[in-house]
Structure 1
Amino acid sequence: MINNFNLKNKLLILLIIISSIYTAILVHIQSIIGVSYWDIFVYLQNSMLFAHINIGSQLSVPPVLSLLTSIPFRMGFISETTLFCVSGILFILLIVGIYLLFNEKFSPELSFIGSLFFSMLSLVVTWAVTGSNDIPSLTFSVWALYFTIKGLNKSFNYYYLAFTCFLMAFFTRFTEGFILIVMISYILMNKDKFKVQINKNDILKLFMFIVFLCAIIGGFYLYKQHTIPFLSQFMEVSSSSQVSSVNIGYDLNPYYYIEYIPQLLTSTNVSLLYDKTLTTIYNTPTLLSYVILVLMCGGVILSFKGVYKKENIHNFSFILAVILGIITIITYLHVSYIFTEILFTITLLLLYKSSLNKINQMDLLMILWMGIFIILHSYHPVKVDRYILPTFIPITYFMINGIKNITIKNKKTPLIILTILLVILIPINYSYINSITHPNPQSYEEKQAATWLEAYDNQLTNYNISSDRGVAFSWYLKKYTYTTIPRVLEQNNETLENKLKTINAKYYIDATSNTTSIDGYHIIYTNNKEKYGIKIYQKD
């Protein structure tokens, strides 16, 4: 036991060293690529606001990542790379958290290789340090679940850390709050032990602690915005009718993620369409993707081997679980996703109860985790590849579980197979990283245009500016730029000319809309490029 503990700590130190070097490389590459995704500009703007420099903000988005980035911003490190570095630190914490979480089921060696394997999957690499909130929110989710497990098995005080991390996850990305279902399910599976804990500890203190944190956060939003934004986002996710087809990710295919999962797992290079669609679905998957999926499916199926017993036929919990499972399948995509999530969760908990604890708890938690996020994002009409990132941890987990179960007679074989898979993944990962290491052409042209406009008019701060990429030019010009998108205006029966007149814009920067003329304005700048063409209009 002592030797295993020492091994676990040694591998943890080694993992921190390797993941730090690996992440530093990714941050350097991201600094070459730059920012290409709309929301990341919003996080940069909010970071400026929290650093007391207002260039426009959208406090309706989760604040945690921007709050963390604002700390080095206040020290004077105001750049895109700062956001990439903050994301990188959280990525290292994610890899470490996965390692510790996997140790709850697997050996330190398998957990070590498994956490590294996760970090090299193509979709993970694509978004690891971009400044997007997907990976940071996942970091807090992993630690929230890990501390919940420790709270039940080690010390009640870990629950304080667990719910703090949960709130951090939620306020990094609102949909990540669904990890709470997994946390509560673990407590329900161990309700007898939890009851003993409640008798020995002051549960009221924990409850008041959670209420206090929620009250502070809710109060801040009500004071600043007179509303709580995640409630409207919750309604948006619940009702697809509130999402416009104008959204670039609009896709009503409910099997989108299942269909494209091989491309998201591993690919040797990025598609030429990548910089336009911000997706990896156009890539060519490697054979390794299908090996991962086969092993994963085997790992999931073998997790339920304790349920397949004759005595379960007369078990009320098992019968009820089967009935609810059938209802879940029948009603899938025909009712609110919340109803489906509840049915799915209850079904799994009943299966656990009927198996008389023969289903491993970690296995069930990972199935629940994977299922919850697949259901959530399959329902939503906007399909963006990065949304499905939370499922990659369970996928990696069940890949290891599949290897472990099919080689159960030899303890060393799972480690050998997993090591071979990692060795195969490394050159794939290298090739993929190499293919994305180039400046984003859209960002480059936008920076050039912004630099030109600043030189053209040294009184720029005195005038209103508008653009179809307002958030990008707010960041580049370090001045609030109105976002005015012609295709969105058309859907609302508005015209670009009227909108520009309303806001009294002296300049309009067209980065993506391909306008040929605007009444009352003349072109003063164009980069003369067919792709990534940018025009700057000045008021007559």
Structure 2
Amino acid sequence: MTKINHLKYIRSHGLNLICLVILLITLFLVVYYRLKLQMSIGPFWDTYAYLANALEYAGMGTGYMELDRPPLLPFLTSLIFRMGFVSEVAIYLVDGLLFILGSIGLYQLFKLRFNPMESLAGSLLFISFPITLAWLGVGYVDMAAVSFSIWAVYTTVLAVNRNPRFFFLAFPLAMMAFLTRFTAGFIVFPLVLYILMGKHYLRQFKEMITGLIISIFLIIPYLAYIYQKTSDPFFSITWSLSFRAESFQEHFAYSSDVFYYIHNLQSFISTQGILHNWFYYILISILIIGVIIYIYNILRDWKGREVTLNSAKIVKIILLILLGVGFIFTFSKINYIYSSVLVLLIGYVAYDLLRGRPNMDLDILFFTWFMVQFITQSLFAIKVDRYFLTMAPALTYFLILGLHEISGKIRINWQDFNLSRYIMPCLMIILALSATSIYLNDVQQEKDNYLVADFVKNQVIDDYMDVMVQDLRNYDPTYQNKTVQSEVWPGFVWKLKTSMKQQPTFNTTPELNHWLEKNHVDYYISLNPADLQSYQPIAQYNNMTLYQINPNATTNKTKMLYIGQGWQNYMDQVLGLKAFVLHESQGRLVIGKATEIDSHSLEELQQYPYILLYNFKWHNQHDAEELLLNYVESGGTLVIDASGNMEGMYYNLDEAVFLNTSISKKSLPVNPKIQPALNFSPFLSDGETWYGAHYEPTNQSQIQPLVTADGNILIGEQKIGKGRIIWIGYNLVWHAFHLENQEEMKLIRDNMGI
């Protein structure tokens, strides 16, 4: 081998091998220390839920399961359970292993565009992000879904450019990403775009179909399982992909800020401490300067090649501008699917316009990846930091692309090398390793950094829970035959291996006592010591207390049946705890009979003097309406607010007729005129317009307005036979509860006759 060939071999293979070894060593060290820390911190909330699901998949279920959760991570964990290792460490190990594989895949993906040093810098930069280190090994699905997405993208690129048989892996990997976290399925947008840009899809059609069939086989067992549990194979998927803000306004993580992830970017990518500000500004500067140079190079190439602006190119430029302007002006105003399609079209037109420029396909692939995930997560009603992980690989790509463009301008030549291509990535590697070391040390030393305070708090709570578990086991070895409840129910479901209900948040002790009585709870474990009227403390450890019911102190109240989803969390409070609002949900599962009107018989409904409806469903609308009318005619009182049925493909009552009443979605002014005059809170939803159900009686229905807002029915009464229907409009129950307006609550109670 000649000296020149030897140098070429080292450059093409030796450096890659060295970088890969450095990456592997870093990964194993980071995962080892992070998992070691997690074992001392203990599982987080969702981790317990995935562990409970893993028990179910392993045939060791407690009766509690959250079917809306994606299945793949708990299923992989259940395989370890079946081997006899039933511990939370199992899910940490699965999460950590998938992270290692994902980071290796990211390095390989970057290497398609950059040299090994730049690819290593990108991979280590991704690892160093606080958002990455904080959620690594926790046992949540976000990191695992990102890992599968990375490999789905990588194998798709290989399938398009090298061997179409990689589609046998690409599509199943995309399906695995979807089954790990349902919103990760939107990776299909950049994948489809890349296939279209490759122009070989007709020749590769056979391999793509085969890959698609394999991926379908992967999801069939899950759909069959969900169908067996719920009679709706797509329940968990449709529930998780619901983007209706109205359904989540009461959720603690609800936010209408569509730029939430931009506003919080600094805490996601830059560790706190001495490196925090200047490391963040270095990264942002690299990104901005790199983009400027990138655009400049495109314009320079056009000028250098003397590109002729013929009519076809002019049309493409105009189309690109129109699509871009259309996206900007419609973002957050149209469905996220339509916005994602616009991004896909922008990417394809841009690629077609710049066809022939090296690596343009990869650049547009990552741009689409970032934008689709940004759109999806930003328009989702619930926003939490870890959702940014879906955008992190694409952001890292553009940071390294910026570094690549800058090093191309700052040339330090030695022989035929541009040393700046290696010096600058080396500096980035040092910064990334330093940031990683600082963050892990801060977690271990409990210093102030991203999420460290939450880690410390979780560790304390986990220790308390272990003490309470032992106390209950010692006090009553037969506790599994009793009803046990806690406000941290997923944790105690796992630790006690027993079923519990999802517990709402209560503002007062009487509300909590009321709920516990309603659900016939025998033992209650609480983080917040309270003087419960019907329960007596039997054990305590610091702030955590174990209570037992006192049967002589319980009370009898009117029982109402609620059918739907939402009101079960706060209707008791609105009714002043004067009645038991019963709901047939189990755990976090609110499906089937709990939400479906005509899953009940008339005899079942007649057991209750009141039936409450909000955000409800039916199998057959005509049968459901007939059932309700028969119930009312027999003397029952039906209370209905159709505001929870104003959006969605199914069970939508906007511009529809239900129970012979015309219903539509309308808004109210901030301070409408209320009749009779009462002290109402402003009608605003997080500072924005308040919407709800508006009712117009038909010839077959006569609704007497009891309370109006600018003449619109807020509460109306319709008498039928021996009973009556109370129509509540404009989401008034939620308005009263959310704004804690006691006059509104009393008004609702008085008109219901409570």
Q: Do they fold alike, i.e. is TM over 0.5?
A: yes
Q: Which string of whole-angstrom CA distances, capped at 9 and with x for unpartnered residues, describes residues 144-169 of structure 1?
A: 01111111122222101111111110
Aligned residues of 2:129 and 2:436 also touching (Cα < 8 A): yes
Displacement of 1:301: 4.5
Secondary structure of the corresponding residue to residue 506 of structure 2:
helix
Displacement of 1:234: 5.1
Confirm whether residue 539 of structure 1 aligns to residue 538 of structure 2.
no
Q: How does 1:371-382 map to 2 (within 5 A)?
A: 371-382=371-382
Secondary structure of the corresponding residue to residue 171 of structure 1:
helix
| RMSD (CA atoms) | 2.5
What is the identity, as a one-letter code, of the residue corresponding to 1:412?
A: L
Aligned to 1:336: 335
Confirm whether residue 427 of structure 1 aligns to residue 434 of structure 2.
yes
Aligned residue among 293, 300, 308 for 2:284: 293
Q: How does 1:357-368 map to 2 (within 5 A)?
A: 357-358=356-357, 360-368=360-368
Secondary structure of the corresponding residue to residue 242 of structure 2:
helix
Aligned residue among 493, 514, 524 for 1:474: 493
Q: How does 1:25-36 map to 2 (within 5 A)?
A: 25-35=33-43
Distance 1:418 1:103, change over 3 A: same
Aligned residues of 1:527 and 1:535 also touching (Cα < 8 A): yes
Distance 1:489 1:186, change over 3 A: farther
Aligned to 2:524: 508
Aligned to 2:600: none
Aligned residue among 73, 86, 90 for 1:78: 86
Distance 1:534 1:161, change over 3 A: same
Displacement of 1:311: 4.9
Q: Which string of whole-angstrom CA distances, capped at 9 and with x for unpartnered residues, describes residues 62-93 of structure 1?
A: 01111111122112222122211111111110
Displacement of 1:304: 4.3
Larger CA deviation: 44-53 vs 355-364? 355-364
Q: Which ranges of structure 2 fall in alignment gaps of 5 or more residues?
A: 1-7, 413-417, 447-455, 551-754
Confirm whether residue 351 of structure 1 aligns to residue 361 of structure 2.
no
What is the identity, as a one-letter code, of the residue corresponding to 1:16?
A: L
CA–CA separation in structure 2 for the residues paired with 1:423 and 1:232? 44
CA–CA separation in structure 1 for the residues paired with 2:29 and 2:316? 49
What is the identity, as a one-letter code, of the residue corresponding to 2:278?
A: L
CA–CA separation in structure 2 for the residues paired with 1:202 and 1:435? 49
Distance 1:181 1:204, change over 3 A: closer
CA–CA separation in structure 1 for the residues paired with 2:112 and 2:308? 29
Confirm whether residue 455 of structure 1 aligns to residue 474 of structure 2.
yes
Distance 1:340 1:196, change over 3 A: same
Secondary structure of the corresponding residue to residue 20 of structure 2:
helix
Aligned to 1:280: none
What is the identity, as a one-letter code, of the residue corresponding to 2:255?
A: D
Aligned to 1:43: 50
CA–CA separation in structure 1 for the residues paired with 2:348 and 2:79? 42
Displacement of 1:187: 0.3
Instruction: State the structure with more CA Rg.
Output: 2
Displacement of 1:486: 3.5
Confirm whether residue 68 of structure 1 aligns to residue 76 of structure 2.
yes
Distance 1:19 1:231, change over 3 A: closer
CA–CA separation in structure 2 for the residues paired with 1:420 and 1:73? 44
Q: How does 1:235-274 map to 2 (within 5 A)?
A: 235-237=241-243, 239-245=244-250, 247-268=251-272
Larger CA deviation: 429-438 vs 61-70? 429-438
Relative contact order (alpha carbons < 8 A, sep ≥ 6): 1 or 2 greater?
Answer: 1
Aligned to 2:460: 441
Aligned residues: 512
Secondary structure of the corresponding residue to residue 255 of structure 2:
coil
Q: How does 1:60-459 map to 2 (within 5 A)?
A: 60-191=68-199, 193-198=200-205, 201=206, 204-227=209-232, 228-233=234-239, 235-237=241-243, 239-245=244-250, 247-268=251-272, 285-305=276-296, 308=299, 309=302, 311=308, 314=311, 315=313, 316-358=315-357, 360-408=360-408, 409-410=411-412, 411-437=418-444, 440-459=459-478
Displacement of 1:134: 0.6
Aligned residues of 2:68 and 2:240 also touching (Cα < 8 A): no
Distance 1:17 1:424, change over 3 A: closer
CA–CA separation in structure 2 for the residues paired with 1:14 and 1:506? 56
Q: Which string of whole-angstrom CA distances, capped at 9 and with x for unpartnered residues, describes residues 84-127 of structure 1?
A: 11111111101101000001100122212321221121110000
Confirm whether residue 522 of structure 1 aligns to residue 536 of structure 2.
yes
Confirm whether residue 53 of structure 1 aligns to residue 60 of structure 2.
yes
Aligned residues of 1:317 and 1:354 also touching (Cα < 8 A): yes
Secondary structure of the corresponding residue to residue 487 of structure 1:
coil
Displacement of 1:515: 6.1
Aligned to 2:583: none
Secondary structure of the corresponding residue to residue 158 of structure 1:
helix
Q: Which ranges of structure 1 fall in alignment gaps of 5 or more residues?
A: 270-282
Secondary structure of the corresponding residue to residue 194 of structure 1:
coil
CA–CA separation in structure 1 for the residues paired with 2:391 and 2:213? 32
What is the identity, as a one-letter code, of the residue corresponding to 1:381?
A: A
Aligned to 2:631: none
Displacement of 1:129: 0.8
CA–CA separation in structure 2 for the residues paired with 1:235 and 1:126? 25
What is the identity, as a one-letter code, of the residue corresponding to 1:517?
A: D
Structure with more of its chain in strand, by fraction? 2
Larger CA deviation: 249-258 vs 421-430? 421-430
Secondary structure of the corresponding residue to residue 137 of structure 2:
coil
Aligned residue among 495, 499, 504 for 1:485: 504
Structure with more of its chain in helix, by fraction? 1
CA–CA separation in structure 2 for the residues paired with 1:16 and 1:126? 20
Secondary structure of the corresponding residue to residue 286 of structure 2:
helix
CA–CA separation in structure 2 for the residues paired with 1:406 and 1:284? 22
Aligned residues of 1:466 and 1:505 also touching (Cα < 8 A): yes
Q: Which string of whole-angstrom CA distances, capped at 9 and with x for unpartnered residues, describes residues 19-42 of structure 1?
A: 12321121111111111x321111
Please report the TM-score for the alignment, with normalisation by the length of structure 2: 0.64
Secondary structure of the corresponding residue to residue 509 of structure 1:
strand
